[in-house]
Amino acid sequence: MKMRRGGRPSLLNLALLVTCWVVGQSRATEMEIELKDNAVQCFYEQIEKGQRCFLEYQVTRGGNFDVDVALFGPGDRVIYQKQRKQYDSVDFTTTESGEHYFCFSNEFSSFTHKVVYFDFATGSEPPITDEIGKTHKAFTQFEVSVMKIHEALTLVRDYQTHHRLRESKGRDTAEYLNERVQYWSLGESILLVVVGLCQVFVLRRFFANKRSQI
């Protein structure tokens, strides 16, 4: 990307610079996985020493919405380990370079599948203005607005993800309760019919006995 000496970056150049800087500084993975009963799924990542990492997860469907989670560093060193958690987050800084991995386990469940959402990010995203300001000392009002919009959209995306997960979990709970209500209503209807038939049968026998005695 070429730029004239002493000139301000155009909107397109500014957007490209922002995108390249963000991608170069941080990597993030968001995924939703299906965890079958008695199953374990692990995810691996090569991370350099001194990198800040963040893992957030939440069980959105299945059973009691719980799962076993473990996070390991090089040499199978345990960084984080929890059992039967519905949701949680862990923020840590790597102390050595090498392969880090985390695993979700549903081994304690023999019947129910789980759906797990997780967000794993490595590196940090410093303020955009700090990096761009090294080469451009002054910004137009429009350029500052673009940077503020970028930061606001990042925050909005996080809120949307959070509410989407809550909506998915709430919908699954509502469908589960609706299914149980339907079964209960069907059982009550059958019970009422059986009780009605039994009452008719008892009353008919009662009057039949009276007639026979007369």
pLDDT tens, residue by residue, 114-167: 888 888 888 765 555 555 555 555 567 777 777 788 778 877 877 777 777 777
Residue 78 included in any domain? yes
Closest CA to 60 of 23, 96, 91, 34: 34
Residue 99 included in any domain? yes
Higher per-residue confidence, 16 vs 165: 165
Identify the domain containing residue 84 by its residue range: 13-168
pLDDT tens, residue by residue, 76-114: 899 999 999 888 888 889 999 999 999 999 988 888 888
What span, in angstroms and rounded, lies between the C-alpha atoms of 65 and 85? 8
Task: Work out how many domains the chain is built from and give that number.
Answer: 1
pLDDT tens, residue by residue, 173-195: 788 788 889 999 999 999 999 99
Residue 4 included in any domain? no
Residue 100 included in any domain? yes
Closest CA to 158 of 180, 114, 125, 187: 125
Say what percent of the chain tops pLDDT 90: 20
Task: Report the CATH number at residue 145.
Answer: 2.60.120.380
Higher per-residue confidence, 209 vs 18: 209
